[in-house]
Amino acid sequence: MSDFSEENAMDLVATMVAEDLAESLGISQTDALAQFLASRTAEMLYDPALKLWWDGPAYVANAYRKEVEKDGQASDPVD
Averaged pLDDT for residues 47-67: 96
Query: Taking the C-alpha atoms of 46, 48, 49 and 55 in order, what is their torsion angle to the nearest 10 degrees?
Result: 70
Structure confidence at residue 75 (pLDDT): 54
pLDDT tier for residue 54 given thresholds of 50, 70 and 90: very high
For residue 69, count CB atoms less than 10 angstroms from its CB and return exposed for 0-12, middle for 13-18, buried for 19 or more: exposed
Comparing CA positions, the residue from 22, 28, 30 lying closest to residue 57 is: 22
- Mean pLDDT over the full length of the chain: 90
| 35 pLDDT more than 80 | yes
3-state secondary structure of 77: coil
Structure confidence at residue 34 (pLDDT): 97
Averaged pLDDT for residues 6-28: 96
Contact 53, 9 (CB under 8 A): yes
